[in-house]
Structure 1
């Protein structure tokens, strides 16, 4: 009889040892969640980068004559760096907004970039990137919950949320670092478009603030920081990661919901 109890004790002890150790003072696997989240973020961004590079290779930058008379010259502008445009593509998949000189702007109307989500290299590339981006969050939430062997749906959801900080950090970095300043006249002209009062890519940006007697003022364009952090860093990752966690305990989740309904 004692041998049976000893065997049960050793089995329980072995099971506890197999569980992933948690950080001291916390019931959540913070470090493990950060790793799962970082892997998902990097893999997603690299996918956007690959398709953005493909798109950029197919796009011709804006070009045109600058100056007048003997000082006139034909200028070919530079494309937005692919690593920046890939960040724009990534944030677009979350529904994040963009700004030009502090005013709301539309990414699809901005020249000289190959952000794959708005100008993909093949048909349905936007749908592909959308599924990869959002599916990666679900997979990360599912993966960390399975890895730590959560026992209930509630525990799985809490554990899955540990992947969110990685998305928050990347969204904040992308919003601050992945900006571009248009300085060449042909690119600025394309940015303004044919509008007479407001810029084509930013309807609230006054053309009179860009076009002056001395020429064109530079235009700084990039992600909206608040939008990027809220959507790409918090709300969407939290919801989808939680869904991933629930998928590891579907029966318990259903029973919990039914119990509350009754």
Structure 2
């Protein structure tokens, strides 16, 4: 009897060893965090480099405020490290705000965020390059994670690719919190607030300047929307593009899955 029980116990042990313990279903969070962090840092540094170049070729606002010999005010440019963050976040469609009111990156004066350039700007090619680098960085990170973890099928590959979004969430939160700028000079505040039909809607010049319009009473704070930054730059776009990168490691299976859905 004892021999029979021993055999049964050994058989059960063999079965337990053969049954996966869930390790195959675990997401490669650590690997995704590493590859995602590399992509985030490399992308931001690229934005910073091109923004510094654009800043060096830009001129700040210079206007006369009041009368007298010292009436000319030469304003200061937004620091490149902040403008680079604006450039980075704007690729994802992140919105901006001034003291709680919705604004656009183009409303902010004295910055040279490289991705803020329009089609007619001399920095348009730089903006296009930054778009490709930002998007391509996420896809490449998703591909690298899926490849490194030897994803077996399209589902595992997509799941592995999604994990690169974790560092993007962290960086989006940090960027939205730290990379705001307080305008404290009359020309820049007046330019940001604008006049009727221009500038940031919902804000009045009288809230920030004195009656004479030659002194700032309240600084105007411009920066990324925390909600938009987390939603678009931290979760939605990185997760989707990371999954796409993961699927690129299984092109045949992905194509067969799509064709099966169509049929």
Q: TM-score, normalised by structure 1?
A: 0.83
Structure 2 alignment gaps of length 5 or more: 1-21
Q: Given the superposition, is the C-alpha separation of residues 123 and 213 from structure 1 closer, same or farther in structure 2, using an over 3 Å criterion?
A: closer
Partner of 1:28: 27
More displaced stretch, 116-125 vs 219-228: 116-125
8 Å Cα contact 1:62/1:190 also seen in 2: no
- Residues 109-167 of structure 1, C-alpha deviations (whole Å, 9 max, x = no match): 31110100013763422211111111111010001101111110000011111110010
- Residues 156-181 of structure 1, C-alpha deviations (whole Å, 9 max, x = no match): 01111111001010001000000000
The reply on whether 1:205 has 2:203 as its aligned counterpart is: yes
Measured in 1, the distance between the counterparts of 2:158 and 2:23 equals: 20
8 Å Cα contact 1:96/1:228 also seen in 2: yes
Partner of 1:5: none
8 Å Cα contact 2:37/2:168 also seen in 1: yes
Instruction: Tell me the CA shift for residue 210 of structure 1.
Output: 2.5
Instruction: Tell me the CA shift for residue 235 of structure 1.
Output: 0.5
Partner of 1:66: 65
Partner of 2:115: 117
8 Å Cα contact 2:32/2:160 also seen in 1: yes
Structure 1 alignment gaps of length 5 or more: 1-22
Q: Secondary structure at the match of 1:212?
A: coil
Q: Given the superposition, is the C-alpha separation of residues 150 and 26 from structure 1 closer, same or farther in structure 2, using an over 3 Å criterion?
A: closer
Instruction: Tell me the CA shift for residue 182 of structure 1.
Output: 0.2
Instruction: Tell me the CA shift for residue 212 of structure 1.
Output: 3.3
- In the TM superposition, 1:88-99 aligns within 5 A as 88-99=86-97
Instruction: Tell me the CA shift for residue 60 of structure 1.
Output: 1.0
Selected match of 2:83 from 82, 85, 90: 85
Measured in 1, the distance between the counterparts of 2:128 and 2:262 equals: 36
Instruction: Tell me the CA shift for residue 96 of structure 1.
Output: 0.6
Partner of 1:55: 54
Q: TM-score, normalised by structure 2?
A: 0.83
Runs of 4+ in 1 over 6 A off after TM superposition: 23-26
Partner of 1:9: none
Partner of 1:169: 170
Q: Given the superposition, is the C-alpha separation of residues 40 and 121 from structure 1 closer, same or farther in structure 2, using an over 3 Å criterion?
A: farther
Measured in 2, the distance between the counterparts of 1:260 and 1:192 equals: 51
Partner of 1:137: 138
8 Å Cα contact 1:141/1:244 also seen in 2: yes
Measured in 2, the distance between the counterparts of 1:123 and 1:259 equals: 41
Q: Given the superposition, is the C-alpha separation of residues 35 and 67 from structure 1 closer, same or farther in structure 2, using an over 3 Å criterion?
A: same
Instruction: Tell me the CA shift for residue 80 of structure 1.
Output: 0.5
Q: How many equivalent pairs are there?
A: 236
Partner of 1:18: none
